[in-house]
Amino acid sequence: MSEFVTVETNTDGVATIRLDRPPVNALSPEVWEQLGAAARRCAEDDAVGAVVVTGGPKVFAAGADIREMSQVPFTQQFKDAGRLQEAVAALARLPKVTVAAIAGYALGGGCEVALACDFRVAADSAKLGQPEIQLGLIPGAGGTQRLARLVGVQQAKRLVYSGDMVTAEEACEIGLVDRVVEAEELQEAADAEAGRYAHGPYALRMAKRAIDEGVEQDLDSALRLESSLFAATFATEDAQIGMRSFLEHGPGQARFTGR
């Protein structure tokens, strides 16, 4: 069991990665390392069909531990920057559907963790932002890149250049979060969202790869990637189950194996 990041899987195949470093889940190098390990564990666990990432009911993650970070020399920061990005990349590359359940503050690295997920559900009291510029820094775990790809270049510039926080409602308006719910409903809503995909076909992995990798490529290259992954889905057991179920029972009735 990790000190600051835990993983629990429910009977529906939804794993919960929980950040747990009171009082505000400040993201130290140890937390980053444990988060990456948790993501890799979920990727390898066949019992996990989808993943919820949360910091609990009060705060998602209020960013880096500034006191600790201010005392680290440049050479160590240079080394840690790669570890930081790799931890978030492990979450972003997780080949299963991921949902961030955001309560309270998701700032700096906390916002970047949420950006690495497929979907973001926020409590109505949540606040999100990339305040690094106010420290004389810039985001270092994907915030300048994933944020721009998600909400567009102009909105990303506004958030990164100003360091301003946005409310859950504004985050939803600009596409930073997908859904806003009352705080007491957050975990249930995130679990339900993840549960929609926990027993989906193996093709979900290929769809995620096609979208995430394709958006980084020119259109012709991305279409070739899509074509190859489309063809590969026919080799899965789930494709045979899905097509047979459609012919015998109509759409939406298949029970997939994840293989």
| 145 Cβ neighbours under 8 A, 6+ residues apart | none
Q: Is 188 a catalytic residue?
A: no
Helix-strand-coil split of the chain, %, nearest 5: 50, 15, 35
Helix (H, G, I), strand (E, B) or coil at 167: strand
Helices (H), the chain: 29-44, 66-69, 74-92, 109-115, 143-151, 153-162, 168-174, 186-195, 203-214, 219-233, 237-249
Q: Catalytic: which of 3, 86, 132, 216? A: 132
Of 18, 23, 22, 21, nearest to 35 by C-alpha is 18
Q: Catalytic: which of 30, 112, 173, 248? A: 112
CA–CA separation, 53 and 191 (whole Å): 10
Of 75, 73, 59, nearest to 27 by C-alpha is 59
Token pair of 239, please? 């494709």
Burial class (CB in 10 A: 0-12, 13-18, 19+), 178: middle
Q: Is 112 a catalytic residue?
A: yes
Catalytic residues: 112, 132
